[in-house]
Amino acid sequence: MQDSKLSIISQGVDLMLYGMGTVFAFLTLMVFVLLLLARMVKAFPGPAGLEATVTNPSSKSIDPVHRMAIERAIKLHHKK
């Protein structure tokens, strides 16, 4: 009976170590693949003309109807 319990515990520990080793190997491989992909992306820039343009939101005017709706929504929110 005692030998049977040790055998089951031993099998459980073996399975646990096998599973943890598999997860560790997969995550290590994933880290290296992502590092490789990051280097590849830096090495090959995208086509010209796709740079992000930053616009100043204050430079665009908001039409009066939307402005009134925003102001009313803010006032209703502050009443709560």
Long-range contacts of 19-28 (CB under 8 A, 24+ apart): none
- The predicted model scores a pTM of 0.51
pLDDT tens digit string along 1-23?
778 888 999 999 999 999 999 99
Q: 48-51: long-range contacts at Cβ-Cβ below 8 A with a sequence spacing of 24 or more?
A: none
Q: Per-residue pLDDT for 57 more than 80?
A: no
Q: Is the pLDDT of residue 59 over 80?
A: no
